[in-house]
């Protein structure tokens, strides 16, 4: 959902440009990510975390960076925020425009690069950036931009280095080096993300971890009651705190 617009052919060929510039990918993204009972549960949890991290939302000016199909942006607008959605992919923005129109939510949708946001310093109350740091060419630069334009809070998420996601990430990055066209996403250490926010004058005020076992495994099981029971048991013995992923962080200036 993001790429760095430097003008070099290498950067433009980065998978974070190519993958999300595909019309079929954009059209099928929501069904792939949020389809079925586990996907719907994932969407509800995401919505609850955003609601908790950004309350009160009424009247807030929020910038959703890497808005994709606009799911989070439409939710925030529906809860009273004044939302701008930004994404580098025109194809994803096209889906977001349809979603916003069908939901009857006014959204200002703009094409923008997460590494170089076309917004003034502290021009919004809060920024949200979901599933961006894992794909960005320079995730620290993206954090810097999110902090620069935010007066109050920043919400990001990422797959944790201490999780099963690290295994999938390693396999994908190896495949990418071997020439396969895959989303070679990265995992991040919580300590590194905290350090990046601290460098820009922000402190972490909320952390939420979602699953211990891989989301794809839960989707294959396709049984929400089982997912909730298993994940609840793992959380009860402390494994969610140690190995939960994705991690959502809320940082405050």
One DSSP character per residue, the chain reads ------S-HHHHTSHHHHGGG-HHHHHHHHHHHH-HHHHHHHHHHHHHHHHHHH-S-TT-EEEEET-TTSHHHHHHHHTT-EEEEEES-HHHHHHHHHHHHHHT---EEEE-BTTB-SS-TT-EEEEEE-S-TTT-S-HHHHHHHHHHHEEEEEEEEE-BSSSTHHHHHHHHHHHHHTT--------B-HHHHHHHHHHTT-EEEEEEEEESS-HHHHHHHT-HHHHHHHHHHHHHTTHHHHH-EEEEEEEE-
Low-confidence ranges of the chain (pLDDT < 70): 1-12
Calpha distance 145→127 (Å, rounded): 10
In a domain, 2, yes or no: no
In a domain, 4, yes or no: no
Calpha distance 88→20 (Å, rounded): 9
Closest CA to 215 of 204, 202, 224: 224
In a domain, 1, yes or no: no
* pLDDT at residue 12, as a whole number: 62
Q: What pTM did the predictor assign?
A: 0.92
What range does the domain containing 43 cover? 9-252
Calpha distance 73→104 (Å, rounded): 12
Calpha distance 57→207 (Å, rounded): 19
* pLDDT at residue 183, as a whole number: 82
In a domain, 28, yes or no: yes
In a domain, 3, yes or no: no
CA 32 to chain CA centroid, Å, is 15
* pLDDT at residue 3, as a whole number: 38
Q: What is the CATH number of the domain that holds 237?
A: 3.40.50.150
Query: How many domains are contained in the chain?
Result: 1
Calpha distance 211→221 (Å, rounded): 14
* pLDDT at residue 114, as a whole number: 96
* pLDDT at residue 9, as a whole number: 39
């Amino acid at each position: 959902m993001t790429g760095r617009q430097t003008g070099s052919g290498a950067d433009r060929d980065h998978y974070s440009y190519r993958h999300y510039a595909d019309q079929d990918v954009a059209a099928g993204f929501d069904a792939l990510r949020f389809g079925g009972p586990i996907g719907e549960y994932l969407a509800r949890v995401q919505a609850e975390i955003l609601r908790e991290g950004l309350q009160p939302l009424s009247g807030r000016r929020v910038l959703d960076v890497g808005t994709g199909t606009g799911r989070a942006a439409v939710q925030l607008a529906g809860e009273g925020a004044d939302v701008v959605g930004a994404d580098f992919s025109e194809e994803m923005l096209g889906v977001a425009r349809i979603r916003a129109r069908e939901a009857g939510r006014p959204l200002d949708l703009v094409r923008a690069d997460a590494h170089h946001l076309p917004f003034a310093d502290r021009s919004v109350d809060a920024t949200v950036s979901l599933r961006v740091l894992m794909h960005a060419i320079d995730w620290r630069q993206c954090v810097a931009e999110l902090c620069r334009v935010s007066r109050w809070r920043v919400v990001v998420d990422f797959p944790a280095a201490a999780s099963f996601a690290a295994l999938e990430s390693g396999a994908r990055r190896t495949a990418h080096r071997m020439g396969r066209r895959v989303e070679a996403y990265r995992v991040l250490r919580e300590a590194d993300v905290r350090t990046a926010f601290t460098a820009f004058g922000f402190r972490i005020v909320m952390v939420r971890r979602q699953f211990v076992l891989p989301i794809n495994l839960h989707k294959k099981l396709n049984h929400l009651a089982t997912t909730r029971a298993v994940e609840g048991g793992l959380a009860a013995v402390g494994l969610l705190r140690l190995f939960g992923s994705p991690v959502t962080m809320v940082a405050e200036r």
